[in-house]
Amino acid sequence: MTDRLAALLATLIPGDADWPSGAIVAPVVAADLAGVEAAVLAVLPADFAAGDEAAVHECEVALPAPFERVVTALYIAYYTDPQVRRVLEARTGYEARPPQPLGYELPPFDDALLDRQRLRAPFWRDPDKESA
Amino acid sequence: MLVDPPIDPPVDVVIVGGGASGLAAAWRLAMRGRSVRLLEQGETIDQRAAPSLGPQWERALQSRFHGNPNIRRLPADYPVNAADTPIQPASYTALGGGTQRWGAHFPRLRPGDFRVRSLDGVGEDWPIGYADLDAWFDLNDRMMGVCGVAGDPANPPRPERPMPPLPLGPGPKRLAAAFDRLGWHWWPADSAVATTPYGERGACNNCGPCGVGCPRLARASADLAYAGAARAAGAIISTGARTLRIRAEGARATGVDYVQGGIQRNQPARAVILAANGMGTARLLLASASPDHPAGLANRSGQVGRNLMHHPTAMVTGLFAERLDGHKGPFACVLFSQQHIESDAARGFIRGYQFQAIRGGGPVQTALGGYMARVPWGRGHHADFERIFLHSVSLTVTAEDLPEPDNRVILDPVLTDSDGIAAPALHYRLADNARRMLDHGIAAGAQVMRAAGAVDVVVNPFVAAAGFHFLGTARMGTDPGTSVVDALGRAHDVPNLVLVDGAVFVTAGAVNPTSTIQAIALRNADALADRLEAA
């Protein structure tokens, strides 16, 4: 069962030279799903192997709700995995750290950006004036 | 026949619900010298230990901070039957309520929103107007701590904001320039976010995920703004206390039955305030049926639960070749446009909609799609992911819903919470007018994205997860035959029962309602304090 789950996850997120495949988070996904994946795996062919997207498409059509749960659990586990986050940082510059406590720097709001909008006359409707 | 539970010492006012409206009302009444007890079924959250401090913050956003109670399933949550609505509920159960989970976008309803029938011949007029709330808006802004810029031509004048607006960042800056290029309105949003130190709250450091709480306390929530002040004024705030029913004898509410720590008790009070949001308030009124009120408390009109309004939402996302770093900065409250918020018959619908800029999310949210479609699985997954991540900015199309009696909250005949109280069941259909509004907004939003330089535009024509706002289910009015409460939130049938949340809205406007809800709560609480003093 674990091998079949790993093969399914590697089909959903294939690895390449940089990115690891989804199989690296199979234990986390299995723990999160707590058995939900069994029905999905049961629909796959007996000789299912990683990369067989046609078989997975059939599974998605046959069992849309549990399949969606598997994909959701995979995406959560994969994109919070430290190894994946290091790849993400190397490829995009998105730092592999939590948002806090450092936060991020942004330049303050530039009030001059409102110059054109400040020229506009008020355009909200005043019901008291319209009924007068 | 109800069994009489043990009775607590009586108070002037018992408040059911510790969210945006209940906490504001508790503070106001306590400040006015009234004895107050607030019952909140959720627990207190220590935002100083928010998940954004750790590596699993996005997992928290998809689990215990998920907006949908049917997915989140915290012990304090009640289930919602959402099988007969295309809009799934998004709420939160804790002290602070939905403001624990919100984006802190803080617009006000506009003067015309209170006169929809007079101006446009649809919906109903409110028995109050913008001027009745003006001072309460300002007071609430000071309590919540609002940043922004005065002078917006789309709204009535308001005082200078106590703090400067949030930084735009690259994506929203592009949108602002695009709105200018098109000659359309935009303005920095009023946001309940501290951009400079504000009392005990630190300044925002642009970390991004406001929805898991703010360890710097920069993003306001109702508990931060009001709970401490209410306690200091003498209010008793009880968490983990779930209200089971409101008790009434004839036309007088006598208190509430609640359960805390597995023990049922009764809290007697001279007045009862219901502040459980437009879904929970309708549910509790209906669940408080008695021989004197067989159709539910305060429901002689049959209007309790009816006229449910949301803000139907579409999402237009621009993908850009340049990096926009949408993970930097509060995600949902940087700028808005009210270019199409007023009625224009040439557009093919009545009333209007607002655009609200949404920055990008973290990696998990990007992969799952957020309010868009999820990134496809398979061989192209990483290429698709990298095309979107850090390269997108979105506009919501937030449409005004109009009241329809068949859009409603009822009690589910089967589903219950963990204490056996019937769960709410939502019945809702999207109106053709709202659909046309969303379609117009999608086309206009795509126009903005192209003017901003987007290389691709992705549309979610209807955001199913956008059930943030529950409005209109116990609306105010002057006619007891067609409304549930009067202009001060007093139930027509039970005048010492006061409603202060979004249930009392007559129409929904096209803007986020929290600022208006809290202004109403403060006003209604103040009027109740007057009456209690006079008595």
Whether A29 is in a domain gets the answer yes
Split into its structural domains, chain B has a count of 1
A39 CA: distance to closest CA in chain B (Å): 19
Domain that holds residue A37: 2-92
pTM listed for this prediction: 0.97
Interchain CB distance below 8 Å, B382 and A13: yes
Question: DSSP state, B414?
Answer: E
Q: What is the pLDDT along chain B (535 residues), one digit of tens a residue?
A: 566 889 999 999 999 999 999 999 999 999 999 999 999 999 999 999 999 999 999 999 999 999 999 999 999 999 999 999 999 999 999 999 999 999 999 999 999 999 999 999 999 999 999 999 999 999 999 999 999 999 999 999 999 999 999 999 999 999 999 999 999 999 999 999 999 999 999 999 999 999 999 999 999 999 999 999 999 999 999 999 999 999 999 999 999 999 999 999 999 999 999 999 999 999 999 999 999 999 999 999 999 999 999 999 999 999 999 999 999 999 999 999 999 999 999 999 999 999 999 999 999 999 999 878 899 999 999 999 999 999 999 999 999 999 999 999 999 999 999 999 999 999 999 999 999 999 999 999 999 999 999 999 999 999 999 999 999 999 999 999 999 999 999 999 999 999 999 999 999 999 999 999 999 999 999 999 999 999 9
Position B173: which residue type?
K
Interchain CB distance below 8 Å, B118 and A101: no
Whether B6 is in a domain gets the answer no
Interchain CB distance below 8 Å, B154 and A123: yes
Total Cβ atoms within 10 A of residue B117: 13
Q: What confidence score (pLDDT) does residue B2 get?
A: 61
Split into its structural domains, chain A has a count of 1
Q: What is the pLDDT along chain A (132 residues), one digit of tens a residue?
A: 579 999 999 999 999 989 999 999 999 999 999 988 899 999 999 999 999 999 999 999 999 999 999 999 999 999 999 999 999 999 999 999 999 999 999 999 999 999 999 999 999 999 988 876
Length of chain B in residues, anyone? 535
Q: Which tokens belong to B500?
A: 């202060």
Whether A69 is in a domain gets the answer yes
Residues of chain A in contact with residue B172, where contact means CB-CB under 8 angstroms, are none
Residues of chain A in contact with residue B153, where contact means CB-CB under 8 angstroms, are 117-118, 120-124
Q: What confidence score (pLDDT) does residue A1 get?
A: 57
Position A53: which residue type?
E
Say if residue B427 is exposed, middle or buried (CB neighbours under 10 Å; 0-12, 13-18, 19+).
middle
Q: Which residue of B has its CA nearest to A77?
A: B59
Per the listing, tokens 């919501």 go with B396
Whether A22 is in a domain gets the answer yes
Give the Cα separation of B113 and A25 in Å (integer): 51
Instruction: Find, among B353, B409, B372, B469, the residue nearest to B99 by Cα.
Output: B469
Give the Cα separation of B116 and B280 in Å (integer): 26
Q: What confidence score (pLDDT) does residue B3 get?
A: 66
Q: Are B511 and B355 in contact (CB under 8 A)?
A: no
State the ipTM, two decimals: 0.95
Total Cβ atoms within 10 A of residue B535: 9
Q: CA of B22: how far to CAs of A86, A108, B43, B259, B296, in Å?
A: 45, 34, 15, 18, 21
- For testing the chain B interface, which of A36, A104, A131 should be mutated: the one with the most B CBs within 10 Å? A104
Give the Cα separation of B59 and B66 in Å (integer): 9
Give the Cα separation of B30 and B235 in Å (integer): 6
Give the Cα separation of B216 and B209 in Å (integer): 12
Per the listing, tokens 């430290």 go with A82
Task: Name, in order, each residue with C-beta under 8 angstroms of B298's C-beta and a sequence gap of 6 or more.
Answer: B285, B304, B474, B484, B485, B491, B492, B493, B494, B497
Give the Cα separation of B226 and A9 in Å (integer): 47
Q: Is B65 on the interface with A (CB under 8 A)?
A: no
Interchain CB distance below 8 Å, A80 and B56: yes
Interchain CB distance below 8 Å, A109 and B164: yes
Give the Cα separation of B139 and B525 in Å (integer): 13
Whether A121 is in a domain gets the answer no
Q: Are B58 and B364 in contact (CB under 8 A)?
A: yes
First to last CA, chain B: 32
Q: Is B390 on the interface with A (CB under 8 A)?
A: yes
Three-class SS string for chain A?
CHHHHHHHHHHHCCCCCCCCCHHHHHHHHHHHHCCCHHHHHHHCCCCCCCCCHHHHHHHHHHCHHHHHHHHHHHHHHHHCCHHHHHHHHHHHCCCCCCCCCCCCCCCCCCHHHHHHHHCCCCCCCCHHHHHC
Give the Cα separation of B421 and B444 in Å (integer): 45
Task: Name, in order, each residue with C-beta under 8 angstroms of A132's C-beta and a sequence gap of 6 or more.
Answer: none
Phi first, then psi, for residue B432 (nearest 5°) are -60, -40
Backbone torsion region of residue B255, taken as left when φ is above 0, otherwise alpha when ψ lies between -120 and 50, otherwise beta: left
Q: Which residue of B has its CA nearest to A11?
A: B378
Whether B194 is in a domain gets the answer yes
Query: Would you list the DSSP string of B232-291?
Result: HTT-EEEESEEEEEEEEETTEEEEEEEEETTEEEEEEEEEEEE-SHHHHHHHHHHHT-BT
Q: Which tokens belong to B256?
A: 């509430």
Give the Cα separation of B36 and B28 in Å (integer): 10
Give the Cα separation of B93 and B531 in Å (integer): 31
Question: Within the 28-87 window of chain A, which residues sit less than 8 Å (CB to CB) from chain B?
Answer: 53, 56, 71-72, 75-76, 78-80, 82, 85
- For testing the chain A interface, which of B327, B368, B377, B393 should be mutated: the one with the most A CBs within 10 Å? B377
Give the Cα separation of B330 and B476 in Å (integer): 34
Give the Cα separation of B109 and B398 in Å (integer): 13
Give the Cα separation of A97 and A80 in Å (integer): 10
Q: Which residue of B has its CA nearest to A54?
A: B378
Interchain CB distance below 8 Å, A79 and B115: no
- A–B interface: beta-carbon pairs under 8 A: 169
A130 CA: distance to closest CA in chain B (Å): 8
Q: Are A78 and A84 in contact (CB under 8 A)?
A: yes
CATH of the domain at B444: 3.50.50.60
Whether A104 is in a domain gets the answer no
Q: What confidence score (pLDDT) does residue B512 get?
A: 98
Domain that holds residue B448: 11-534
Whether B294 is in a domain gets the answer yes
Whether B204 is in a domain gets the answer yes
Q: Are B123 and B116 in contact (CB under 8 A)?
A: yes
| Beta-sheet pairing, B36-40 with B236-239 | parallel
Question: DSSP state, B228?
Answer: H
The number of CA neighbours under 13 Å toward the Cβ of B407 is 20
Question: Within the 82-101 window of chain A, which residues sit less than 8 Å (CB to CB) from chain B?
Answer: 82, 85, 88, 91-94, 97-101
Question: Within the 109-128 window of chain A, which residues sit less than 8 Å (CB to CB) from chain B?
Answer: 109-111, 113-114, 116-118, 120-128
